[in-house]
Amino acid sequence: MLTLAFESSAKAASVALCEDGRMISMVTQCSGLTHSRTLLPMAEDLLKNADVAISSVDRFAVAHGPGSFTGIRIGVSTVKGLSWAAEKPCLGVSTLAAMAWNGIAADRMICAVMDARRNEVYNALFRVENNRPIRVCKDRAVSLELLAGELRELGEKVFLVGDGAQLTAEYLRERKLPYRLAPENLRWQNAWGVAMEAAGREFGTSQDLLPVYLRLSQAERERQARMSATVSA
C-alpha cells in the first residue's frame, strides 16, 4: 500500500512516500518560500526520482492541524485536490501526533509543542508503547505557564519535539523543570510521521478531509474584539 504524505503546518514543508510503514523517499524544504509554491513541485520531483507514477499511489495523508493557518490550508487543499482527481482515499492526522513519532526512541514521555504565539503552544503528550506514540491528552492550545504546571505535577523528564520545543525548553529551564530537547534532526515535524500516524487508520474521501485549527485566526479574534467593543459601547 503506497501512501503519499504531506506536512505543511509550519515553516518547513515535507513530502514522503511510504509503503506499509517503510519509507521509500522523503524530501523537506525550509527555504522561506510559501508552501503553495513548493509543496506540489516537491511531490512531483519525489515521485519522478522514485520512478513511481501518481496513479500508482494508493492513498494520500496530510497533517491537518494544528499549526499555521495558511500552511494547514495549503496542505489540506493539496491533498483534497489530489484525492478527488485520482479518486483515491485520503486522511488528515494531527500534526502533534505525527511529530511525536520523532520521539519514539527517547524512552520517556513525549511532549509535542508548536509555537502558537502569545506565550502559548499547541501541545499534546504521548507515551511510547509497542514502538508507537500513544496519546495521553487531546490536542490543545495551552499557555506555557499551564503546561509547565502540568509537567511539574507529572514529575518526569519529557522529550520535547516540534517547532515550539526550543521556546518550551527555555521556559522550563528558567523554572528548573526537567526536560530533554530533541536534536535538530528530530525536532521538526515531517511527512514520514504523517504517514506513520495514518497507517492502520480508516481513510475517507476528499469531502471528509477538513482542517483543524483549535482556535480562531488573529483576524477572526480581532473581528470579535471589535464587535464586542461595539456592543459594549
Statement to judge: residues 84 and 196 lie in one domain: yes
Statement to judge: residues 46 and 123 lie in one domain: no
Distance CA 51, CA 62 (A): 22
175 domain-assigned? yes
Statement to judge: residues 69 and 20 lie in one domain: yes
230 domain-assigned? no
Statement to judge: residues 118 and 147 lie in one domain: yes
Cα dihedral value 47, 195, 19, 73, nearest 10: -30
pTM, entire model: 0.91
227 domain-assigned? no
13 domain-assigned? yes
In what helix (H) or strand (E) does residue 220 lie, and over which residues does it extend? Answer: helix 218-232
C-alpha gyration radius of the chain = 18
First to last CA, the chain: 60
User: Looking at residue 230, what is its pLDDT?
Assistant: 53
User: Looking at residue 21, what is its pLDDT?
Assistant: 87
Statement to judge: residues 183 and 103 lie in one domain: yes
126: nearest Cα among 104, 93, 143: 104
6 domain-assigned? yes
Statement to judge: residues 7 and 88 lie in one domain: yes
Residue 149, Cβ neighbours under 10 Å: how many? Answer: 14
Statement to judge: residues 108 and 175 lie in one domain: yes
Statement to judge: residues 183 and 193 lie in one domain: no
Statement to judge: residues 203 and 183 lie in one domain: no
Statement to judge: residues 142 and 206 lie in one domain: no
User: Looking at residue 220, what is its pLDDT?
Assistant: 45
71: nearest Cα among 126, 115, 104: 115
User: Looking at residue 34, what is its pLDDT?
Assistant: 86
User: Looking at residue 216, what is its pLDDT?
Assistant: 55
Q: For residue 76, what is the domain's CATH number?
A: 3.30.420.40
Statement to judge: residues 32 and 142 lie in one domain: no
Residue 175, Cβ neighbours under 10 Å: how many? Answer: 12
Counted domains in the chain = 2
Strand boundaries in 37-154, DSSP class E: 59-63, 90-93, 110-117, 120-129, 132-135, 140-143
User: Looking at residue 31, what is its pLDDT?
Assistant: 78
Rounded average pLDDT per 10-residue block, the chain, 233 residues: 96 94 93 87 97 97 96 97 97 98 94 94 97 96 97 96 96 97 93 96 97 69 47 52
71 domain-assigned? yes
By residue range, what is the domain housing residue 74?
A: 2-94+189-220
Going by C-beta distance under 8 Å and a sequence separation of 6 or more, which residues neighbour residue 160? 111, 113, 168, 169, 179, 180, 181, 182, 187
